[in-house]
A = this chain, B = another copy of it.
Amino acid sequence: MNQFGPSFSFLGVPSCDLAALPDADVVILGAPYDGGTSHRPGTRFGPQAIRQACYLPQDGSRPSLAMGVDALKDLRVFDAGDVEMYAPESTASLQRLEDAVFAVADAGAIPVVLGGDHTIAWPDATGVARKLGYGRVSMVHFDAHADTGDTEYGSLVGHGQPMRRLIESGALRGDRFLQLGLRGYWPEPQTLDWMAGQGLRSYEMTEIVARGLDECLTEAFAIATDECDGVFLSVDVDVVDPGMAPGTGTPEPGGLTSRQLLDAVRRCCYELPIVGVDVVEVAPPYDHAEITAFLANRVVLEALSAIARRRRGDPWDPRRPLLDGR
């Protein structure tokens, strides 16, 4: 059951029940939580928007032109619906989400969580770490913001703090935490000091522009795969420029293009051993013509397609013409 609106699955993949998980490669979860947002709310409608933002039939098939796979067919992908989340009951809600993610990971599948605000990265990555071991999972984190704040309005819960919680609890190691796309005017110096002390590697947009995103990614991947059993990919859609992804709560101008994000997500999922994914901060009330939801939908598909291609094992060349070899 989806929490807001009618119940249906991501692009028509089979639904499943968390209490009786099928043999799956990937299980999609909705996390319609926007209680932790510090500014514009609305991400509670993110899961529904992302699930359906497509002009093609909702038929559980999406053959990727670029990767030459049909991830929704080649992988066993299910949608377990939404975890019920309610802001005045945040603690219980986040625990339910963590348990759901753990259940998916424990069943051997990759959880793909559709947010919701970025608060959910805390239970998302914790749930995976409960399965793979605290400190055994690296994080690749696309975002305009570091999300390493201490508290928000006096609370440990909030979309500006999940990464702090994950490192403080030991679920993730600070020195296997790769952040890409940061920019703007937050956090303040003492939080940057804390981040430095924890060994995070944070690529601000200035560095990305100066060195090139691909070089930064290659460097980050080397860190991410050092002494780790898997990588969690957390994509905050606000890493993209607000001009191209307006439907979000805390837009920071000067971000990546949609194309850059899709290519970067592809590289992550093709080159790294992904064990969990979340795509967060899509706020439909601020979107226009669903363009941000479409982008998030494609981020999910790009991730799944690259995972499927990685599993197929044959080499992939981005320069190869589309119709070559047919």
* Interface, chain A (partner B; CB < 8 A): 4-9, 12, 34-36, 38-42, 44-45, 51-52, 55-56, 58, 61-66, 84, 86-92, 152-155, 157-158, 182-186, 188-189, 192-193, 195-197, 200-207, 209-211, 240-247, 249-255, 257-259, 262-263, 285-291, 294-295, 298, 301, 318-323, 326
Contact = CB atoms under 8 A, between A and B. Distances in A.
Dominant secondary structure at the A interface: loop
B209 A259 contact: yes
A319 B210 contact: yes
A243 B287 CA distance: 10
17 contacts: A6-B12, A6-B52, A35-B35, A40-B285, A41-B285, A65-B204, A66-B206, A203-B322, A207-B320, A210-B318, A242-B295, A243-B257, A243-B295, A246-B288, A251-B290, A253-B258, A255-B259
B38 A41 contact: no
* Identical copies of this chain, number: 6
A197 B247 CA distance: 42
B321 A202 contact: yes
A289 B252 CA distance: 12
Contacts of A242: 244, 258, 289, 291, 294-295
Contacts of A154: 86, 89, 92
List 6 A-B pairs, minimum CB-CB distance, nearest first: A243-B244, A6-B8, A196-B326, A87-B87, A86-B153, A39-B55
Given A35-B35, A189-B63, A241 B258 contact: yes
Contact of A184 (B90, B192, B298): B298
A243 B35 contact: no
Given A65-B183, A87-B88, A154-B89, A203 B321 contact: yes
